[in-house]
Amino acid sequence: MIRDNDEKLLADMAAKGAKINRKPNTDAFRKSVEPVYAKAREKYGADVDAVLAEAAAVRKAVK
């Protein structure tokens, strides 16, 4: 149901001129945001790593 809605929204955005990247380079993105995580660690400490670990577990579970 959610995936169907995502497809509809993506089609609507594409119809309005948005470019849809169905195969983003997530490794390059993660590498480019590492400085942001480092800055967040300065403020939030180990909580940042806990959130990133949870996100990695979710990604692994849905593959």
Q: How far is CA 13 from CA 4, 10, 45, in A?
A: 14, 5, 38
For residue 1, the model assigns a pLDDT of 64
pLDDT in tens, the chain (63 residues): 677 789 999 999 999 999 999 999 999 999 999 999 999 999 999 999 999 999 999 989 987
